[in-house]
Amino acid sequence: MTSLPPLLLLCVCVCAAAVPPVGTQPEQVHISYPGVSGSMLVTWSTANETESVVEFGVWGGQLFSRSAKGNSSVFINEGLERRSVFIHRVTLTDLRPGTAYVYHCGSGSGWSDVFSFTALNESVSFSPRFAVFGDMGNENPQSLSRLQKDTQMGMYDAILHIGDFAYDMDEDNGRIGDEFMKQIQSIAAYTPYMTCPGNHESAFNFSHYRGRFSMPGHTENLWYSWNVGPAHIISFSTEVYFYLEYGLDLLFRQYEWLRKDLEEANRPENRALRPWIITMAHRPMYCSDDDGDDCTRFQSYVRIGRSDTTPPAPGLEELFYQHGVDLELWAHEHTYERLWPVYGFKVFNGSSEEPYVNPKAPVHIITGSAGCREKHDGFIPKPRDWSAFRSTDYGYTRMRLINYTHLYLEQVSDDQYGKVIDQIMLVKEKHGPDAWL
Ligand SMILES: *[C@@H]1O[C@H](CO)[C@@H](O)[C@H](O)[C@H]1NC(C)=O
Ligand SMILES: *[C@@H]1O[C@H](CO)[C@@H](O)[C@H](O)[C@H]1NC(C)=O
Ligand SMILES: *[C@@H]1O[C@H](CO)[C@@H](O)[C@H](O)[C@H]1NC(C)=O
Ligand SMILES: *[C@@H]1O[C@H](CO)[C@@H](O)[C@H](O)[C@H]1NC(C)=O
Ligand SMILES: *[C@@H]1O[C@H](CO)[C@@H](O)[C@H](O)[C@H]1NC(C)=O
Ligand SMILES: *[C@@H]1O[C@H](CO)[C@@H](O)[C@H](O)[C@H]1NC(C)=O
Ligand SMILES: [Fe+2]
């Protein structure tokens, strides 16, 4: 047996330990609906600069028969290391609605695994199904395994993540963000993953949230709306009410945008086609948690605005009520809470036997219990009379927009092994502000 001279042996060891990861290999693959018929947007990351290509084809057809090109931009975490990654975006167009596609992304210097998705059915009579939750982190993501299996079983057409990701994406010089995006690839590479910002994204002026996701519109994902089936879904930032240091003008710009978007969605020809108007944003107007958050206060900023700014900042309850918003989805509280139809702290049931049949005010759902390192929140012992159901179990919400009149919601408990612990059918024969009369 010959042995290597000691010096050479040392060299071999050092070289082996110093082999860096392949920086051109795609990772953190996720998709989103860009709000344009027949399209899907693929976003991913590489450590080094590469081309941005998606090769795809109809499921069961010839693999990778089509190819689309996009581009990448460098994303720098503004922390100590000023660590950078490249974020790639490619929009696939001319997709056949309701058709399953197979794809991979990357370039000649490295391809991702093979993933699949179904192009959204663009029909207004389509009945989309959603998973809805907020506040899911790298640590303790209680709901993730169940969401992975649900997604693999084809249970959802889109996922709505209502703010607070990773805890926090900027930590460890942005590595926590990378790990989070890798973790959700198991669901987000297969189902459009639609988002809004939460307080845990605030670092460096929400740069991770703005840089890593790819939502419709031109507001760096902060506020946007999209149509699916019989619904118009509006995503916005409650954080503009809290991080004034990033610009009070953002709050006013968003408010103006919301007002215009709601007016447009309420034009008779639009509301006739998409009668459901659903909002999603992070911090709720109402909640019965015991943590002193905005929603625990009668004078909630999100609900009634702020009077300590110049000029005073308008709240959103009045705006949403005036425009006949049907359903408001929130998170931030690490609990689940369903409210009776409520406006101005008063309950407006359809009737006391059937409160959700033709309700006379918007319905609120708070679903922030997907699981994160901050664990659960608690409730005050005696809820107000607008609180209909509450649970501190980890879990998430399933939503199905059945048709113009029926919308189904259920809450899945992870603590109780996937048991459905709450369900309602929201029925509206009339939509819009006239429905309140
Ligand atoms: C890849 O990126 C790393 C980290 O930014 C850098 O150190 C390395 O020089 C890059 N390699 C190439 C070939 O560009
Ligand atoms: C990437 O492409 C988009 C859409 O074509 C374009 O708006 C954007 O400016 C491009 N970005 C870069 C960094 O080239
Ligand atoms: C879209 O959904 C509608 C309503 O369910 C259905 O009739 C239609 O066949 C679907 N279209 C496609 C392309 O799957
Ligand atoms: C924060 O980011 C938003 C969105 O890009 C921008 O409009 C705003 O000016 C930024 N604020 C500061 C203080 O840089
Ligand atoms: C609303 O309906 C629920 C369920 O029937 C009932 O418990 C509650 O008291 C009603 N609230 C009002 C104000 O009518
Ligand atoms: C809407 O869905 C509900 C629940 O499945 C059903 O009872 C109702 O008949 C449907 N309405 C129409 C117009 O199809
Ligand atoms: Fe939060």
State pLDDT tens for residues 342-374: 999 999 999 999 999 999 999 999 999 999 989
* Nearest CA owner, ligand 2 atom 2: 71
Q: What does the pLDDT average to over 188-213?
A: 98
Q: Is the pTM of this model over 0.85?
A: yes
Residue 205 three-state SS: helix
Domain boundaries, the chain: 27-118, 129-436
| DSSP code string of 137-194 | ESS--TTHHHHHHHHHTT--SEEEE-S-EES-TTTGGGHHHHHHHHHHHHHHTTS-EE
State pLDDT tens for residues 8-28: 444 444 445 567 678 999 999
Minimum-distance ligand 2 atom for the alpha carbon of 71: 1
DSSP state of 219: S
State pLDDT tens for residues 263-292: 999 999 999 999 999 999 999 999 999 999
Distance, in Å, from the CA atom of 225 to the CA atom of 229, rounded to the nearest integer, reads 13
Which pair of tokens denotes residue 240? 């503009």
Distance, in Å, from the CA atom of 165 to the CA atom of 183, rounded to the nearest integer, reads 11
Residue 426 above 70 pLDDT?
A: yes
348, 349, 386, 425, best to mutate for ligand 5 pocket (most atoms within 8 Å of CB): 349
Distance, in Å, from the CA atom of 306 to the CA atom of 231, rounded to the nearest integer, reads 30
DSSP state of 298: T
Decide if domain 27-118 falls under CATH 2.60.40.380: yes
Which pair of tokens denotes residue 317? 């309850």
| DSSP code string of 239-286 | GGGT-GGG-HHHHHHHHHHHHHHHHHHTSHHHHHH--EEEEE-SS-S-
340, 354, 360, 387, best to mutate for ligand 5 pocket (most atoms within 8 Å of CB): 340
* Nearest CA owner, ligand 3 atom 5: 126
State pLDDT tens for residues 377-392: 999 999 999 999 999 9
Residue 228 three-state SS: strand
Within the chain, what is the greatest distance between any pair of CA atoms?
Answer: 93
39, 71, 90, 91, best to mutate for ligand 2 pocket (most atoms within 8 Å of CB): 71
CA of 424 to the centre of ligand 2 (A): 43
Cβ–ligand 2 distance for 93 under 6 Å, the answer no
State pLDDT tens for residues 75-129: 999 999 999 999 999 999 999 999 999 999 999 999 999 999 999 999 999 999 9
**Which pLDDT value is given to residue 31?**
98
Phi and psi (nearest 5°) for 373? -65, -20
Query: Facing residues of 372 across strands?
Result: none
Which pair of tokens denotes residue 40? 């899907």
CA of 403 to the centre of ligand 6 (A): 6
In terms of Cβ atoms closer than 10 Å to its own Cβ (0-12, 13-18, 19+), residue 5 is: exposed
Cβ–ligand 3 distance for 123 under 6 Å, the answer yes
Distance, in Å, from the CA atom of 263 to the CA atom of 271, rounded to the nearest integer, reads 10
Q: What does the pLDDT average to over 47-72?
A: 97
Residue 325 above 80 pLDDT?
A: yes
* Among candidate residues 162, 228, 153, 152, the one with its CA nearest the CA of residue 187: 152
**Which pLDDT value is given to residue 49?**
96
3-state helix, strand, coil in the chain (%, to 5): 25, 30, 45
Encoded amino acid at 98, one letter: G
Cβ–ligand 5 distance for 386 under 6 Å, the answer no
Phi and psi (nearest 5°) for 210? -70, -35
How high does pLDDT run on average in the chain? Answer: 95
State pLDDT tens for residues 144-165: 999 999 999 999 999 999 999 9
**Which pLDDT value is given to residue 9?**
45
Minimum-distance ligand 5 atom for the alpha carbon of 340: 1
Cβ–ligand 4 distance for 205 under 6 Å, the answer yes
DSSP state of 93: -
Q: List Cβ neighbours of 146 (8 Å cut-off, separation of 6 or more).
A: 396, 412, 414, 418
**Which pLDDT value is given to residue 11?**
46
CA of 368 to the centre of ligand 7 (A): 8
CATH superfamily of 129-436: Metallo-dependent phosphatases (3.60.21.10)
- CA 337 to each of CA 200, 287, 309, 318, 396: distance values in angstroms, whole numbers, following the listed order: 21, 7, 31, 21, 11
**Which pLDDT value is given to residue 22?**
87
Cβ–ligand 6 distance for 405 under 6 Å, the answer yes
Rg (alpha carbons) of the chain, rounded to whole number: 23
Percent of the chain predicted with pLDDT > 70: 95
* Among candidate residues 326, 292, 287, the one with its CA nearest the CA of residue 303: 287
Cβ–ligand 1 distance for 23 under 6 Å, the answer yes
Distance, in Å, from the CA atom of 221 to the CA atom of 228, rounded to the nearest integer, reads 18
CA of 426 to the centre of ligand 6 (A): 12
Minimum-distance ligand 1 atom for the alpha carbon of 47: 2
State pLDDT tens for residues 370-425: 999 899 999 999 999 999 999 999 999 999 999 999 999 999 999 999 999 999 99
Residue 331 above 60 pLDDT?
A: yes
Cβ–ligand 1 distance for 83 under 6 Å, the answer no
**Which pLDDT value is given to residue 310?**
96
Residue 436 above 80 pLDDT?
A: yes
CA of 55 to the centre of ligand 1 (A): 25
